[in-house]
Amino acid sequence: MTLLNWHQLFQERLQTKHSKPAITTYFKHLLAAFFDWEPTVLGLYPDRELSSSQADELQKALEALQRDKPLQYIIGHTEFMDLTLKVGSDTLIPRPETEELVGWILEDHEPSRLTVTDLGTGSGCIALALKHYRPDWELHAVDVSIAALTVAEENAKMLSLRVHFHNADLGSSDIALPKCNLIVSNPPYVSFPEKVEMESNVLDYEPHLALFAPEQKPLYFYEQVFKIALKKLSKGGAIYLEINPLFCNELMEMVVSFGFKNPTIRQDLFGKNRMLRCQL
Ligand SMILES: C[S@@+](CC[C@H](N)C(=O)[O-])C[C@H]1O[C@@H](n2cnc3c(N)ncnc32)[C@H](O)[C@@H]1O
């Protein structure tokens, strides 16, 4: 089969799930990831015959896409701001909203020396992006999942970025972290009732440890972040959180009850209340 035949097969098999341009984009990503081919190859060499091993790879990818597996897990990496990051079944796929959270921190803080802690780091996306844009900052990143931390460490190595990774539970009473100027967290925040509305590409493939807050306590992780902040944040320091828009009001109340000041909400690119900043 030629490249064009494969492209047509992808369009045919995936048409009920995705738009035509999206399928073409997926197809080109696969060509780049598997064979190192430029996106223009499809237009320039539609009659190129694929070898049987190349055809096998595309066939497996097509079947995985039909089963709703996210493209990022099929190719094993994703883009986050200017970084290419490895992702796998133990790490959440970083979202554009989280890029906005990092953007807010960069907007607020110039390249002076700061110590910053990322709680629930997953692939390491937040900590690594901050280190990339602010090389003078000292970055610490925490996760309970050793498997996720292994991926985050591989990303740090691949990008030659120095981040101090810590394996710890945000629920533990004392995590060995230094005092810091900023705390950032995108903790698990999906509440159980939201599960029924979730798409299978998320629910069936992304780690539930990264997605869901405890069933009876949807704000559990925010409470833990605030407790850690009371111990580890320097006076005048700030907290930046990605939040669940459904709990925006409760979170604002929680900020005040913990004694933090100047709570500010920011909307994401979809117009949802998605980020919260407050200060000690
Ligand atoms: C929503 S994901 C965020 C990952 C990454 N920061 C991002 O923005 O894509 C939440 C992360 O918190 C971690 N996590 C879950 N429970 C935790 C706990 N009790 N203590 C520390 N980390 C935890 C998960 O392993 C996951 O990597």
pLDDT at site 111: 81
Q: How far is the CA of 119 from the centre of ligand 1 (A)?
A: 7
Q: How far is the CA of 157 from the centre of ligand 1 (A)?
A: 20
Pocket of ligand 1 (CB under 6 A): 92, 94, 98, 120-123, 125-126, 142-145, 148, 169-171, 186-188, 209-210
Residue 121 half-sphere exposure toward CB, CA atoms < 13 A: 35
* Measured CA distances, 67 to 60, 62, 204, 252 (Å): 11, 9, 10, 39
Mutate to test the pocket of ligand 1, among 79, 125, 145, 211 (most ligand atoms within 8 A of CB): 145
Contacting residues for 257 by C-beta, under 8 A, at least 6 apart: none
pLDDT at site 86: 98
Dump the DSSP string for 140-183: EEEES-HHHHHHHHHHHHHHT---EEEE--TTSS------EEEE
Which atom of ligand 1 is least distant from the CA of 143? 22
Mapping DSSP onto H, E and C, the string for 173-198 reads: CCCCCCCEEEEEECCCCECHHHHHHC
Q: At 130, list the tokens.
A: 């901050």
Q: How far is the CA of 144 from the centre of ligand 1 (A)?
A: 7
pLDDT at site 112: 86
Mutate to test the pocket of ligand 1, among 91, 92, 116, 142 (most ligand atoms within 8 A of CB): 92
Contact between 251 and 243 under an 8 Å Cβ cutoff? The reply is yes
pLDDT at site 41: 95
Helices (H) and strands (E) in the chain, counts: 12, 9
pLDDT in tens, the chain (280 residues): 999 999 999 999 999 999 999 999 999 999 999 999 999 999 999 999 999 999 999 999 999 999 999 999 999 999 999 999 999 999 999 999 999 999 999 999 988 899 999 999 999 999 999 999 999 999 999 999 999 999 999 999 999 999 999 999 999 988 999 999 999 999 999 999 999 999 999 999 999 999 999 999 999 999 999 999 999 999 999 999 999 999 999 999 999 999 999 999 999 999 999 999 999 9
pLDDT at site 212: 96
212: left (phi over 0), alpha (psi -120 to 50) or beta: beta
Q: How far is the CA of 162 from the centre of ligand 1 (A)?
A: 20
